[in-house]
Amino acid sequence: MTKMSKLNQLSTFCVAITVILTANCQDFGYDGAFGPKHWGEQYNSCDGKKQSPINIDLSHVTKWSFPPLIFDRFDMFPESTEIKNNGHTVIVTMNFQEAPKISGGPLNGSYKFSQFHFHWGENDTFGSEDTIDNQSFPVELHMVFFHSKYDSFSEALHYNNGLTVLAFFYYVEGEANKNYKELTKLLRTITEPMQQTLFRTPITMFDLMSSNLNKYYTYFGSLTTPPCSEVVTWIDFAVPIPITPIQIQDFRALNGYHGPIGHNFRPVQPLNDRTVFENVPLSETNTLNQGKHPIPNINTNDIDMDSEEDEEIVPGSIGDIEPVFKDYRKENTASITSIGNICLALTLIAASLF
């Protein structure tokens, strides 16, 4: 075998190794080898017993009157708002002097705003993650909060009371939703992964939310993306938000790491032994759970007036939420770059033998 043949074989081997390692370092997706059916192969929590999303069967929900939800500073305008294509979804971060907080309802303590993002489908008949009586919605909004007792989102991921997510569904209407005009327009400027831009017109969190914040369902579950950590109190609002087909199409025009993001929702997971609660505002009943408003412990389905449980869990290795995802991508990009540099060095050494 000639030296040139050996050199070509070495170069081919290095390219193959780099491609294989790059594939193994890829993050999750929604189709094929990277799809939800395979998430559990790398992230054990994705095969857990308290996973999200779920189907909310209205014939099996437990009706309960929770204390009112308290939306603190949801009416405040942020100093700036950034929208970003992170390769899986569009993620929006809002810079406040003091972050909005959510408390009350089924929550023990207050939760600080982190970010919000969206899930959608390939057409207007499906796209949401949670479903109601097996009905899907074209888009779902997730507003993500972490418990105020923890210093950061990353720390909160370690505890089963770490996060709460406010989920909102959408329905198709002919007239454009003015509160979403700039958001959907900006999507056209961030069609490729890691592109980002700023809002020009400030909006409040209330502007993007449902018109009825009293009717909701709540249950304990997980992140709907790897690492699928079971740390989330879900609050799904029953009254959907209007949006037009054209506005929805702007979401579907985004590209991700594995091609167009035509859909980015995880299929529903088994409910197992969990209870889903339906909030019944006291104004609608004179007898249901009045007085002290005992709060069900969503984690155990028990009634627990004073529970402030901080059970630590094994933290996951990656999440779709930006702080975790960014660190993971940085580490693995560095590893792949190092491997490529080694292969290049070997090739150059071999070439010097001529």
Residues with active-site annotation? 88
Contact partners, residue 290, CB within 8 Å, separation at least 6? 65, 282
